[in-house]
Copies of this chain bind each other. A is one copy, B any other.
Amino acid sequence: MFEIRTDLAVEEKESFPGDGGEVTGVTLREWSRAFSKIKMTEVAILDEQGARAMGKPKGTYITMEAKALAKGDEDYHREVSGELSSQLKRMVKELKKQGKMPDRKELHVLAVGLGNPSVTPDALGPKVLGNLRVNRNMAEEDSVVLSGIVPGVMAQTGMETAEILKGIIHETGPDLLIAVDALAARSIRRLGTTIQLTDTGIHPGSGVGNHRHSLTMDSLGIPVLAIGVPTVVGAAAIVHDTISALTGTLASYSQTHEMGDFLERLSPDEQYQLICELLEPEFGSLYVTPPDIDQTVKQLSFTISEGIHMAFFPAR
């Protein structure tokens, strides 16, 4: 088996035949905000069958998409922050209803900025944390107590992020963890234009830095909401897309229809497997990113930190 090709559930869903047709155990709901033109999608993976088909754990994945996110319009970003805030609140409410969190106003939330602050497309999480206004150290009247940590990546710490967080949770006892991370997408069109919010936490192989251990309620003992923005595309995904296009093109040359036939007989997974075998071994970890990624990461870090502020400190 090979690594997950996309961190976005909505892309995984689209990859099914019939442009994301029916998958047993998976529901899809789409709507949009007329005014802001944010396209909303909710993929719910309902059972083990759905989880296996999607290669992602059971749970809810909400995607906010807007091309305009790639531009620096501040008012627009404010609307997206508002939408993120609403969805966050809805998920917190649901967690309370499910008994996974105490049902009181006074919550202690630990925000975590995953990724490597020194690598631009991986720095989203650390940048969001840099914008957050924590208050656990103050005697405030806010009902929510917010703390935050940037644990660094394993190459810098020698430790699994899960180890670091387990220890901090053990000492400080938060009720909820919100993990912010840069994601890998399947399509370059998603880079910097999509925000995914999920109640399933962070899983091995996900994120730009490819986490090895999961950050979930199972592993950490408290619910984990994950907010992510795709900032890279795996190099293998790009190669795959090009070859698909190539196959199509070549099929139109009569003398090569057999080649087209051959490739088309392979399932997408087999095609991907073949590509991975052809690629250099070092290649697996390479990623593709646009040259203006610094601006994208900076802007979206504010959009997300504002969304978190609006969800937990409405009066500020």
Contact = CB atoms under 8 A, between A and B. Distances in A.
A166 B158 contact: no
Copies of this protein in the assembly total: 4
Contacts of A157: 134, 137, 147-149
B289 A155 contact: no
Of A154, A167, A172, chain B has the most CB atoms within 10 Å of the CB of A167
A68 interface: no
A234 B150 CA distance: 29
A25 to B, nearest CB: 33
Contacts of A290: 282, 285-286
A253 interface: yes
A262 B258 contact: no
Of A116, A149, A292, chain B has the most CB atoms within 10 Å of the CB of A149
Given A208-B291, A242-B278, A158 B134 contact: yes
B286 A288 contact: yes
A249 interface: yes
A235 B262 CA distance: 25
Contact of A250 (B164, B259, B280): B259
Interface residues of A, number: 80
B285 A291 contact: yes
B286 A286 contact: no
A259 B291 CA distance: 35
Given A235-B238, A262-B253, A286-B290, A159 B149 contact: yes
A221 to B, nearest CB: 13
Interface in A204-255: 208-210, 233, 235, 238-239, 242-243, 245-246, 249-250, 253, 255
Interface in A252-290: 253, 255-256, 258-259, 261-262, 274-275, 278-280, 282-283, 285-290
Interface string A126-137: 000110011111
B118 A294 contact: yes
A291 B158 contact: no
A118 B148 CA distance: 16
25 contacts: A119-B294, A129-B156, A130-B156, A134-B158, A148-B157, A149-B151, A149-B152, A155-B295, A164-B168, A166-B167, A167-B169, A167-B171, A188-B280, A188-B282, A189-B280, A209-B291, A235-B235, A235-B238, A238-B239, A245-B279, A255-B258, A285-B290, A285-B291, A286-B290, A289-B289
Interface of A: 72-73, 116, 118-120, 122, 129-130, 133-138, 145-152, 154-160, 163-164, 166-172, 188-189, 208-210, 233, 235, 238-239, 242-243, 245-246, 249-250, 253, 255-256, 258-259, 261-262, 274-275, 278-280, 282-283, 285-295, 316
Given A118-B294, A170-B171, A246-B274, 5 more contacts: A118-B120, A149-B157, A159-B168, A167-B167, A253-B262
